[in-house]
Amino acid sequence: MRYVVGAVADIPPGASTIVYPDKVKSGIGVFNIGGEFYALKNTCPHMGGPLCKGRVRGTTDADVSDENRVAMHWVRDGEIIACPWHHWEFDIKTGRTLFESRQKVRSYPVTVEPPEVLERLKAGVETVPVSIDGATVVLEI
């Protein structure tokens, strides 16, 4: 099933939105990271928190020198989301946790379609208000 999220212009780089298709009651967060779109289920696998309402940020990485000196670096800004309940961190691009765990949040394929595809998708599909001036973001459920 395909779900029309909205116009690309409505979700600029660094922004996100949560949509509520019938099949996914908790919602799906759609994120624009540098012009690429990603989607995650709005449920943290840890305790069921509203993951996509969490803070989008980066994370730290460390380099250890030959002298055992540690240098910390802020990396992947805007690619990590932290659950608002217990701050578990997930990679928005893959749904994987940033720590050693087998838990992963469900991710969904997202495509950007030309405006003419929107008219074909409207029949029988729940939509949100969209602009047809530019390309359209479409979620595959």
Residue in 83, 77, 82, 68 with CA at minimum distance from that of residue 13: 77
pLDDT digit string (tens) for the chain, length 141 residues: 888 898 899 999 999 999 998 888 899 999 999 999 999 999 999 899 999 999 998 888 888 888 888 888 887 888 999 999 999 999 999 999 988 778 899 999 999 988 777 666 654 455 555 444 567 787 777
Which CATH number among 2.102.10.10, 3.30.830.10, 3.40.50.300, 3.30.300.30 corresponds to the domain 12-109? 2.102.10.10
**Pairing of the two strands 55-64 and 70-82:** antiparallel
- Global confidence as pTM: 0.79
Question: Nearest 5°: phi and psi at 18?
Answer: -115, 130
